Amino acid sequence: MNIIVKDLYFYYKEGEDVLKGINLEFDDRCTAIIGQNGAGKTTFVKLLKGLLKPKKGDIFIKGLNTKETTVAKLASIIGLVFQNPNDQIFKNKVLDEVMFGPLNIGQDKNLAFENAKKALELVALLQKADENPYDLTLSERKLISIASILAMDTDIIILDEPTIAQDFISREKIKNIIKKLKEEGKLVITITHDMDFVAENFERTIVFNQGQVLLDGPTKEVFSKEDILKTAHLEPPYITQLFKRLGFSETVLNLEEALNYKIL
Ligand code: ADP
């Protein structure tokens, strides 16, 4: 198992639990974490990455207990792309920026260079290697922040809201990146509010609600539970809802599936 979370509790202020008894296991299925603002999603992934430590319970990343492991050691196993790329950019040249992470976790210069090049190719921005990240568009900066984490070649990659404020091309690139990472056998976990993105890319979906897991299962199964989702102020993708309203009992997740029905 890649990640095991046992009876996890966390608070920022004593008496105000933000996570309340989370039990989860992550195999290698590409997983989306959804939930209202304030549900505890970002706190949860910061705990996985070891940036915060459990107040109660344990998290094991590839067998290592995050309470007993340094952030530096975890950094070579688990990468986290923050929501705002500007929180993550430190250098004034794209290539240096993407090499920063690999060098920081001890890769030698040649390996860091090769990994950075491969990561920039994957996000299709190798041609911008010599530019200043701040001369790029916000969408491109987001892709650079993703490349910086990919270059570290970690087995587990977490993306926090990757599609927010992204244009169509960048969104398609992110979809392709996730597909490639999956093919390479990496575990991809994504926090998102973008239900179409979940339906198109993720095998498993976990719903957080007020610091607890409300639903967890294959994405299709989760999106078939419209009433439970409503209690967390969430809705399935528009196309899923449309097919329900039209009287189909089957849960349809995306356009490809919808096209199997003759009405379209
Ligand atoms: P989500 O990612 O689902 O929006 P968060 O994990 O960001 O949820 O937040 C969960 C709760 O923890 C919220 O009530 C939020 O206000 C609180 N919180 C998040 N970060 C901090 C912090 N650094 N200090 C104090 N409270 C925080």
Would you say residue 140 lies in a domain? yes
- Tens digit of each residue's pLDDT (9 = 90 or more) over 151-182: 999 999 999 999 998 888 889 999 999 999 99
- Tens digit of each residue's pLDDT (9 = 90 or more) over 121-135: 999 999 999 999 999
Range of lowest pLDDT (25-39, 41-55, 71-85): 71-85
CA of 166 to the centre of ligand 1 (A): 23
Amino acid sitting at position 104: N
CA of 47 to the centre of ligand 1 (A): 12
Question: What's the domain count of the chain?
Answer: 1
Is the CB of 39 within 6 Å of ligand 1? yes
CA of 52 to the centre of ligand 1 (A): 12
Would you say residue 3 lies in a domain? no
Would you say residue 107 lies in a domain? yes
Would you say residue 167 lies in a domain? no
Segments forming the whole domain that contains residue 125: 93-153
Average pLDDT over residues 185-198: 95
What is the pTM for the complete model shown?
A: 0.94
Residue nearest to atom 19 of ligand 1 (CA): 43
CA of 48 to the centre of ligand 1 (A): 15
Write the ipTM.
0.98
Would you say residue 126 lies in a domain? yes
Using the predicted structure, report yes or no on whether residue 113 has a pLDDT greater than 90: yes
Would you say residue 206 lies in a domain? no
Token pair 């966390």: residue: 10
CA of 211 to the centre of ligand 1 (A): 10
N- to C-terminal Cα distance for the chain? Answer: 41
DSSP 220-246: HHHHH-HHHHHHTT----HHHHHHHHT
Helices marked H in the chain: 41-48, 71-75, 94-104, 109-122, 138-150, 168-183, 195-201, 219-224, 226-231, 238-245, 255-258
Would you say residue 223 lies in a domain? no
Residue nearest to atom 22 of ligand 1 (CA): 12
Helices marked H in 151-194: 168-183
Structure tokens, 10: 């966390």
Would you say residue 97 lies in a domain? yes
Mean pLDDT of the chain: 93
Report the atom number in ligand 1 closest to the C-alpha of 13: 25
